[in-house]
Amino acid sequence: QVQLVESGGGLVQAGGSLRLSCAASGSIFRFSVMGWYRQAPGKQRELVATITSGSVTNYADSVKGRFTISRDNAKNTVYLQMNSLKPEDTAVYYCNLNHNVANFWGQGTQVTISS
């Protein structure tokens, strides 16, 4: 069983920055695709960014050029650096670990951007 614990959310003004972290338990982290997703009130959960075990990254068009996903396999941690934040980035952000048929989610961390 894998546990994912997110941290780093909060309230910032538009144009500001936040860095989210997600620490994973267990030994499969380094072999897994890690992702950040978000869910705004009344909306479906959507992909923000993913990073493969080989550090190939993928981003939603809405965050390209503003967000950066990275991973530290020695720390079993994935990060999401968020710059130039906009009010529409307001959501609960979830960490995801995907390895073969295994799929795990964190509890989420709230990000609120004020205009």
Q: How confident is residue 57, by pLDDT bands cut at 50, 70 and 90?
A: very high
Query: In the prediction, which pLDDT does 51 show?
Result: 98
Query: In the prediction, which pLDDT does 22 show?
Result: 98
Average pLDDT, integer, range 87-108 = 96
Query: In the prediction, which pLDDT does 1 show?
Result: 85
Residues whose CB is less than 8 angstroms from the CB of residue 59 and which lie 6 or more positions away in sequence, other chains included? 48, 49, 67, 69
Query: In the prediction, which pLDDT does 101 show?
Result: 87
DSSP-derived 3-state class of residue 32:
coil
pLDDT tens column, 60-83: 999 999 999 999 999 999 999 999
pLDDT greater than 90 at residue 7: yes
pLDDT tens column, 17-44: 999 999 999 999 999 999 999 999 999 9
pLDDT greater than 90 at residue 52: yes
Query: In the prediction, which pLDDT does 11 show?
Result: 98
